[in-house]
Amino acid sequence: MDLSEVLDIVRLTDTGLVRRHNEDAIASDASIGFVILADGMGGYNAGEEASEMAVLTITAELKEALGGGSSQYILPDIDRPVLNKEILKKLMIDAVAYTNASIYHASQTYSQCAGMGTTLVLGLFINNELLAGHIGDSRIYRLRNQHLVQMTEDHSLLQEQIRAGIITPEQAKHSSHKNLVTRALGVDPKVEMELNEFDVEIADVYLFCSDGLTDLVDDELIQSTLNSHLLDLTKAADALVKLANEHGGNDNISVILAKVNNSYEDKNTWYDNFVGWLK
C-alpha cells in the first residue's frame, strides 16, 4: 500500500549555533510510511559516522523488504506478505540488530571510530497503527486534538532517577546530566530496541526529534508551536528549529513531522490469513 496519499512527512536538521559538525542523521519515505532519526556520539567525527551508518543501513534493509528490489520477504505478483505486523516487527528488530553489530565492529576495528554510537528513533505506519522503536533519548511525540503527548521514555540516567523518585521532572530540566544515555546503538555487541505499537487517528501529527530540541524547548512550547502551524508542516519544522536556536542552539537539532490525513487500513492478504490460521 502506497502511503504517499495518506501521510505528509517533513524533515529538517540543523547544526545549531555551537557545534561545528552535525552528528544527527534523518531519513523518511512516505510511500512505505517510514521515518528514522539518529543522534550520534563519539570523538572526532565518529558520532557523525555512527548516525549515518544507522540511518543508511536500517533504511536500506527496510526499503528492500518493503518493496525496493528483490527480497526474500517479497513474492511476485501478489500483495506484499510483509504487511503482516509480526513480520514487520521482526524486520525492524533484525535491521537494528544488524546495524548495531556493524557500528560496534567499526568502533572496535578503527581507532578513529572508538566509542562511537548513536541514539535512534524509527517509525513504521501500518494498518492504522504506528510501530515505534527507540534507543536512547531521542523522542517520539504525538499531537492529537491539540494535545501533545510524549510516546517514548528516554533511556537515560535522568529518566532512571525520575523513575526511582530521586529527582522530579522539574528538577531534571535543570540537571547537568541531560546527555547521559543508558542505552545506545553500536556501543555494545548487542542492544535492545524498545518497540511499541500505537493506534493512529486521522489528523494526528507525530514528531520525531533529537534532544537538541527537547533539552532547550519545553513540551508546552512545542505543543503551541505545532498547533500554530498545523496546516503547514514545513513552517512547523522551521519554527521548532528556530526555537531551539533562540534558546541557545547548543546541540544539533533534528525534527521529522508526520501528519496522518486519511485512514490506511490494509486488507488481509492470503499470507496474513495463512499466518493467522497457523496461530
pLDDT at 158 > cutoff 80: no
Convert the pLDDT of each residue in 14-73 to its tens digit. Answer: 999 999 999 999 999 999 999 999 999 976 678 999 999 999 999 999 998 886 433 333
Q: What is the CATH number of the domain that holds 154?
A: 3.60.40.10
Give kind and range of the element (H or E) at residue 121: strand 120-126
2 assigned to some structural domain: no
pLDDT at 153 > cutoff 50: yes
Q: Quote the cell numbers at residue 30.
A: 512516505
pLDDT at 242 > cutoff 50: yes
- Number of domain units in the chain: 1
Going by the DSSP 8-state scheme, the letter that residue 189 receives in this structure is S
131 assigned to some structural domain: yes
Q: What is the pLDDT of residue 71?
A: 34
Q: Tell the residue number behind the cell numbers 511499541, with chain if given.
A: 196
132 assigned to some structural domain: yes
75 assigned to some structural domain: yes
53 assigned to some structural domain: yes
**What would the mean pLDDT of 190-212 be, rounded to a whole number?**
97
Amino acid at 101: A
92 assigned to some structural domain: yes
1 assigned to some structural domain: no
Tell me if residue 136 falls in helix, strand or coil: coil
Q: What is the C-alpha separation between 150 and 162, in angstroms, rounded? A: 15
Beta-carbon count within 10 A of 274 CB: 12
Q: pTM for the complete prediction?
A: 0.87
Q: What is the distance in angstroms between the CA of the first residue and the CA of the last residue of the chain?
A: 25
**What would the mean pLDDT of 154-180 be, rounded to a whole number?**
68
48 assigned to some structural domain: yes
Convert the pLDDT of each residue in 57-98 to its tens digit. Answer: 999 999 988 864 333 333 333 344 446 899 999 999 999 999
Q: What is the C-alpha separation between 34 and 183, in angstroms, rounded? A: 23
Domain of residue 177 covers 7-278
